[in-house]
Chain A
Amino acid sequence: MNAARGARFGGVDGFADACVRLAARRWPPDLVDAMAEEWRAELAAVRADTSLPKPVRSWRALAFAIGLVRFGSVGSEESTWDSWRSRAARFGPAVAGLAGAVGVVALSGALFGALHDAYHRLERVATGATGAALEAALVLLAVAMMAATGLTTARRWSRQPAGAYAGIRAATVLGFVMFLFLWIGNRVAVMPFMGWRDVGPAVAAWTVSMAMTLTAVRRLGRSGRRGAASVVGAFGVIGSADVAAAVGSLHAAATLGVATVSAPAWFPLALLPAGIADLGLSVKPVAASASHAGAQASAVLLGNASAMVGPLLLCAVFAVAYTVAADGVHAPARRPAPVVVDRRHVGAFATWAACGLASIATWAVLASSGRHDDAGSALRVTAIAVAVAAFVALRASAAASVAGIGAFATLVALDRAVDATQRQGLAVTVALVAVAGLVGYVAWLAADRLGAVGARADVKSTDASPRRVGSPGVRSQVWLAVAIVAALATPGVSPAVPSDRAETATYVLTGLAWLTAVTAALASRESALRSVVAITLIAVPLAGALAALRLGGTLLYLPAPLAVAALAAARWDGRWRHAYRWLVLGVSATALGVPLALARDGSGDAVGMADRIVNNSAVFGFGFVATAAGQIALAVALGIVAMRLQRGGLLRDTPHPPRLAAA
């Protein structure tokens, strides 16, 4: 079936295939694959009917496929060609949806206006920490009110969710109305930067981000995972507001002379009371508005961002709360977890052995070639991590991670010893290969013996409930969680190293985190890994290390995405439509390294600005993420979110054929 599915057609045939895909998406989730498979089979049969001329075959296939799109979904079997009356009746929900969007936007704007007014009243009676606390309480109150309104609306008036694109439609309608509200409704600008070039990009970015958020929330909600939907929704609300503030303030920043490097921090800083945030710029007159002459550039920028993003934030809260509640009302029963039979074998022996030996040879040549600088250290440590991963991956299990860490520590110690003595030559290379091969073999044996015990336990437990603690499904998720947190925590571990030879120590810790991520991901895997993926798994970090050496100062950005890339390779299930999850994870992991990279940069105005942002935002806790502990804590939080996202798709490594049993 997959062979036929993978076939590609052009022109009319390609359009017919696209119609089949589109029609299948309109069916209930548990039937999508089966119906698409059945229709592809019918299309293939029509195309294979050589008794008819090819144009007739193409026409029949096209008519079949268009018929599916024209009518086909459950409950639509009595559809006929619509009369104008029936078509007009469809406008009812659309008009209701538009009216609802206008109402939500108006409510958001009014609530934000009240909030703004209360801000100014509070400034007269409460200052300092008391005033800031009261203002924070007001923001939280407004958010809670919008969330409660969304929940209540959904529970009382929600309809059965329709279509896979409902989230995109809702975000688009809300974005359109919000643009009208912010732009047309603000012809006499309250703030200096509220023109089309400010509001347009902000609302566009917000709409795209909210469309992704609402789609993810709907998917999680419809599968019964309302907790995960709420968490993803909360992150989506904050992320959408942050993106909108950054994109919508670019024009203001260019006019005011504020560097865009601090753009991600504009939204959180805009939440702070006036006068606390300081982007480090000198006081200068603002050309855009005479009334603001003499005001500080950062205050204008952040005040403007606040006025623009405030209604967007409240509106997003409503949309997410509504979606979570509405999908919870109509959520089907939760899908059962997959049952694991045996997950010990994750690849061919020859592939892994070749990768391991190649990596060891790379390391040995580097170690004995007299390259004792930081760049050489980075490459050597990377080669060691890759080699160890290749050896223990033969028997991926919990024991493999432990054995791998032991082998890694041994080989790094050996590498340090060679580095200290600075010995070179062919004899040293051969000796290093021999020793490393021995260590790798011991690690493989340990992983094999210890892993076999775990594997037998897995097989015994498959017939029982797969959801109980210690069962393969839960264990698989635990290892996947370990892998994700290790991948995300790689930027966080780097500043924890001592200042003496900090770079080398960074490489060691990063290599260790990568190794843990990959071995844990393989331990969580439930089916064999293709050779090409295995080789990719090994090649990516080596290529990344080489790239990092060239990029130099941006080294801190790289370990996390590299770890995520390796994690994606280890957990790859052959479905490209799952790739966006890894993309989200990789972007998140990269973003975690940004504050550290900014803070560690040694010169230039950006450093002063970053320091000020960190210092200012630290008052309210935002600076926490610029510390190692904060990074790791955030990595754990993101890992939990990622696990929720992954559980639905990526734990099912082997696609189940869409067979339906006879009744």
Chain B
Amino acid sequence: MAEPTTQPRVTTSVLKVVSALLADPSAERYGLDLVHETGLASGTLYPILLRLERAGWVATRWEDIDPVAEGRPSRRYYRLTQRGAAEARREIAMLRQHFARAAGEPPARAAVRRARHA
């Protein structure tokens, strides 16, 4: 994949995907698995994965099998990169902070500062 291009726009759907990947950052997940876990439509999930891949948050790998011997095509696996995991944690922390503020809870400044510098 080419060099990371732009910072992905973090939306609710994107957060669902990165949260699912963050559950086990070192695990490799395939698309259908993420569809089931996030509840997103397949047509919503794949563009998000592509965007995250282009941003360098997600790395992909094709399953190393012989399609003829296995009788099925290779699957593509997705996993968070180190940078992607850090960025995702930061975004989730900031979002949590926004929610907390909206709910009237006192701002945890230290937590926000940590998230910004993560």
Contacts and interface: CB of A to CB of B under 8 A. Distances in A.
A212 B80 CA distance: 44
Given A77-B47, A663-B1, A3 B42 contact: no
Given A23-B43, A64-B35, A75-B47, A663 B60 contact: yes
A5 interface: yes
A34 to B, nearest CB: 8
Interface stretch (B48-56, B92-100, B102-110): B48-56
Contacts of A659: 62
A459 B113 CA distance: 58
A76 B59 CA distance: 21
B27 interface: no
Interface string B29-46: 011100100000111111
A40 B74 CA distance: 9
B73 A67 contact: no
Interface string B71-102: 11111100001000000000000000000000
Nearest to B42: A67
Contacts of A3: 67-68, 71
B6 interface: no
A70 B35 CA distance: 15
Interface stretch (A43-51, A369-377, A446-454): A43-51
Interface residues of A, number: 39
Contacts of B76: 34, 38, 41, 660
A75 B47 CA distance: 7
A288 to B, nearest CB: 56
Given A40-B73, A42-B75, A660-B76, A71 B41 contact: yes
Given A3-B67, A4-B67, A41-B72, A76 B43 contact: yes
A2 B53 contact: no
Among A37, A42, A45, find the residue whose CB has the most chain B CB atoms closer than 10 A: A42
Contacts of B21: none
Contacts of A35: 46
A4 B62 CA distance: 16
Contact of A4 (B13, B59, B63, B71): B71
A354 interface: no
A69 interface: yes
A79 interface: yes
B11 A78 contact: yes
B58 interface: yes
Contacts of A660: 1, 60, 62, 76
A31 interface: yes
Interface string A199-236: 00000000000000000000000000000000000000
B61 interface: yes
A280 B50 CA distance: 66
A201 to B, nearest CB: 41
A39 B45 CA distance: 12
Contacts of B48: 77
A663 B30 CA distance: 16
A74 B50 contact: yes
A277 B73 CA distance: 63
B95 to A, nearest CB: 16
Contacts of A41: 63, 72-76
A2 B43 contact: no
Interface in A57-108: 64-65, 67-79
A67 B1 contact: no
Contacts of A77: 11, 13-14, 44-45, 47-48, 51
Nearest to B4: A663
Nearest to B81: A663
Interface string A607-629: 00000000000000000000000
Interface string A1-28: 1111100000000000000000100000
A38 B31 contact: yes
Contacts of A188: none
A261 interface: no
Nearest to A36: B73
A42 B67 contact: no
Contact of B75 (A23, A45, A71): A45
A1 B41 CA distance: 25
Interface of A: 1-5, 23, 31, 34-35, 37-42, 44-46, 48, 64-65, 67-79, 659-663
20 contacts: A4-B67, A5-B73, A37-B73, A38-B75, A38-B76, A40-B73, A41-B73, A45-B30, A48-B72, A65-B42, A67-B41, A67-B42, A67-B43, A71-B43, A71-B47, A72-B41, A72-B42, A72-B46, A661-B1, A662-B61
Interface of B: 1, 4, 11, 13-14, 30-32, 35, 41-48, 50-51, 53, 56, 58-63, 67-68, 71-76, 81
